[in-house]
Structure 1
Amino acid sequence: MTNLTQYGWNDHWDKEWSKEDRGLHRPGRITADFGQKFKVCTEEGEAWGEMSGKMKHGLQSGAPYPAVGDWVEFQMLEGEDRGVIHGILDRKTNISRQKAGAKSAQEQLIAANVDVLFLVTSLNDDYNPRRMERYLIMAWNSGVNPVILLSKADLCDDADIKAAEMELIAPGVPVHVVSALEDRGKEAVTGYLREGVTVALTGSSGCGKSTIVNWLAETSAQRTQGIREDDSRGRHTTTHRQLFLLPQGGLMVDTPGMRELQLYDDDGGGWEQAFADIEAIGRSCRFADCRHEREAGCAVRAAVESGELDAKRLQNYRKTQRELEFQMKKEARGQRKMNRTDRSGKDPVRRKSSYWNQRLHDE
């Protein structure tokens, strides 16, 4: 028998479960996603699961696609070690990005019901504060608590200086310097791990996520690879999303590395939170709608000129703002096109969920 409280089941999920008559279905949590098949953990243990026909049909009208971390209604097939997923309980949080290569705004779900998100970047030539600003936008939008991990500290002579730089761009966000090779920073990281708490790791390919999982799990749960020496970029090691139960308590989701993070939306106000310092300075601008470009009396540009604000941070502020505005326009154009097609009656549109095409592998 499996104790589901170890996997995050609590009073909140008890209440969600009791809202409907679930019949013979039992609660389960998705621990691995292999496309059309999933690993589901129930009180009886782990089993393979597939979506019911009704659930697959519902995807076409906007129902969510199952993701690692989801709590689901599960039915074991009699005499078999597999079962059927009949539904998904409402998510508390979901970590998303814009689907790579999509012509219209499409959400790609990374993980669901995560409490803490470790944003990992390695202290080698791949270190990039501007990329971290993008990850922070994604984290704040998802509703989870971000924590920055600066990995591979054994490869860096000025780790503390880089940590201070990260603290400047992420006010209030914990920053930890870690090294699995030197066993550095482990106590600080394990402080976030306790029974029922779900932690996810995200970062670029080769930043050391799988190594961190193995380090914390004290086992070779995930395969690891080296990085290219010419640019410190990694090859894909993790090829699917998977949730691990850690020996010290807590759960960890390892995700495939991303060579590029495209932002999806800003419903959670993540952009403003990620650039809270610039937003605060901007309240002193002469004009309330100042874009901090060429307007007279711009306090933000004055802060750059005085050295109070990094010019590259302001540049990324503008870049990500334009990107999110463009995504909103793409989404609006796609919706208008869908509505026109629906009215014509000639080419009925199947309303696919933003999760329907998320099977595309991470870049």
Structure 2
Amino acid sequence: MSHSDWAAAIGRDTPVLVTGAAGFIGYHLSERLLAAGIPVVGLDNLNAYYDPRLKEARRDRLLDRPGFTFERVDLADREGLAGVFERHGPRRVVHLAAQAGVRHSLTHPHDYVDANITGFLNILEACRHREATHLVYASSSSVYGGNAKLPFDVEDSVDHPVSLYAATKKANELMAHSYSHLFGLPATGLRFFTVYGPWGRPDMAIQIFTKALYEGRPIRLFNHGRMERDFTYVDDIVEGVVRLIPRAPAPDPGFDRQAPDPATSWAPHRVFNIGNHRREQLLDLVAMLEELTGRTAIRELVEMQPGDVEATFADVSALEREVGFAPDTPLREGLARFVDWYRSFNGIG
């Protein structure tokens, strides 16, 4: 699907609502849609989970773009969210806003219920009552939980979460499916795998490691560095999203209720992995960052943290069949772009 194909299929008559537009992925997605001439209503509450100045900087860049409208609304504000739908009439919604972070969920569990459960219910209700034609929402690779079979496939069971964050993302998939069944709401869940790149979240490992390298502080490597992640460059994530926005799922006529496939349904609901379909050693990541920054890491090897998993690895064959695309940015190439941005944003010569 070419640039003009997906943009034409989305259309320019009504805006796409992007929740979490001042967040990492939401910012990049909004930029991509605006560059294609598609109007965007960006919703964000600009909370202080991490430095709001980074969120404000992303938002301000979007406000400089024609076609962008910003709404500061919290997902838990049912009336405020309904007002956004009433004022702007979006038919396609990309829901990326959430309380993120596995480790934060160990100490602040209520934040996850407020944003990821109550907030998601409010999104579903607004989409239902405004007759949205497609809800695309962020799930997470964390739903695979304690699964040891690699790569993770959308046909795998995801019934054993190892963090509350993962449980809320699994709950989102179940909630969306129920609305697809009950009200015919077409919905697509996207399981993102360890997204990184310019304008990234400061609580993610790549940002934390890079900051520590430039400041000469130790890098904590959990499970004594024996971790593998499927690092996915943010532009690849966005490419997958924009190709899926105009492709609202239809009921699967071949769905077998006696042998149910978790990846599909009799309802208009689907889930896809979006990952780089590669396993990268955490120690190799650190070595690449050392090379790119010209600094030597001080490695601090520590035990695995509760809620973590040893490895993630995406099977993206379902995504490739659906939209003819699979992420392919090599890790070193994506890291080089990230480090260039990091140095510029933080004034490092």
Tell me if TM exceeds 0.5: no
Per the normalisation by structure 2, the TM-score is 0.30
Bigger radius of gyration among the two: 1
Per the normalisation by structure 1, the TM-score is 0.30
Q: Whose strand fraction is larger, Structure 1's or Structure 2's?
A: 1
